Amino acid sequence: MDAKKAKIAEKNNLRELRLSWERNALSKLKEEVDERVLEALEPHPNLECLYIQGFRGRYLPCWIENSTLRKIVEIHITDCENIRHFSKLGELPHLENLFLKNVGVEYIIEEEEVGSGHPVKILFVALKKLVLIDLPNLKGFSKEQQSSKEAFTILEILNIKRCSSLVLPSLSSLGKLMWLACRSSDLALLSELDILSHLSIEIEENLTCFPIEALKKFSKLRSLTIENAKEISFTREGMEALKELTSLCLQSCRTMRCLSEGMLRHLTALEDLNIWNCPELPELPKGIKHLHNLKSLMLFALHKITRLPQAFQRLTDLYLHDLPELESLPDHLPSLYRLTVMNCPKVVSIPDMPNLKELRVTGCPQLERRCQRGTGEDWHKISHVRNIYNFSK
């Protein structure tokens, strides 16, 4: 009754609705109660974004299944472990983003949606981004393989994490896909996908050596993220697959042997390099000097790094965050346009950067003191900077 009194359906200017069920250990409400409450919270058809979290019911409400949300663009369903079916979601004509996390479904497209003997509907006609995280029961996009070919026709971004039972569909049917995130074991299941430009790979815990030559099937790959690799082995054939790579991100890679000088010599087109959460990395390799086209460098949570190489003539963006042992910045950064230094307490001074336009400093007490407006010892080096942020007054 309280849910009905909210009269959500009458709020015709409402564009975003977030519904969250929070419980403690003493909560004993039945599944049917959640289902009745959610049914009573039907929004106006003008709604564009819907978030449902912690719902214990088994079924989505009729107002979703009957496709009354004709203007909905984005749906997030999180921590709804009892949901087993997603009837009619594929018929929402303007749904562009679908985010599913910790949900009990086995298939995104239900068998009855296809319909035996009837013309095949094209489902998820507007979907551009699909995120699937922690879905242990998910077996596939559809029970009927044919229906998968008649769905997701303009999908551009597909993110899959910790979906242990999922069998990926043929990516040849996803002709617009540009960005894929998946497990390294999934790579062997993929056929060539020439249009794919960004690939993010999560390495399984039991995989000690990731064969980079598996990437040769992605001939137009421009951006690569590798997460949780203990070691990466490179062959000449594998390096050929990366010769046109413009962006590389390494996350939680333990030994970081992948950053050998031999590897860096081959990444001649690389423009962006991001290294995150690699606490055992003692220093950046000297081979970074071979990255003549490098324009952006982001370093985050590298707890042993004490200094950076003097090899950044063309660098325009430098982002340093949580480098507690870093003692200094490179002496010569002639092309730098943006500089961010956060939680690097041992950095005490800043170099001359004639082209710097934006500077952010926080969590660096000595550096902040030296850069104080008008009075700091390094103020003359940055007085020309157009935008300066985060310094204490």
At 113, the pLDDT band (50, 70, 90 cuts) reads: very low
* Neighbouring residues of 80: CB distance < 8 A, sequence distance ≥ 6: 52, 53, 54, 55, 56, 57, 102, 103, 104
Residues 196-224, mean pLDDT to the nearest whole number: 77
Cα three-residue angle 83-85-87, rounded to 5 degrees: 135
The predicted pLDDT at position 175 comes to 76
Number of C-beta neighbours around residue 130 at 10 A:
21
Joined together, the tokens standing for residue 145 give: 């393989």
Residues 90, 109: Cα–Cα separation, whole Å:
7
The predicted pLDDT at position 232 comes to 65
User: Strand 387-389 vs strand 272-276: parallel, antiparallel, or unpaired?
Assistant: unpaired
Joined together, the tokens standing for residue 25 give: 């250990």
Nearest to 38 by CA among 55, 54, 51: 55
On whether the CB atoms of residues 353 and 381 are closer than 8 A, the answer is yes
| Residue 118, helix vs strand vs coil | coil
pTM of the model as a whole? 0.77
At 64, the pLDDT band (50, 70, 90 cuts) reads: confident
| 64 phi/psi in degrees, rounded to 5 | -90, -45
Joined together, the tokens standing for residue 51 give: 């978030």
Q: Is the pLDDT of residue 393 over 50?
A: no
* Domain covering 1-177 assigned CATH 3.80.10 in the classification: yes
The predicted pLDDT at position 25 comes to 53
| 225 phi/psi in degrees, rounded to 5 | -120, 130
The structural domains of the chain, with segments of one domain joined by +, span: 1-177, 190-294, 301-393
Q: Tell me which residue has tokens 């998968």.
A: 148
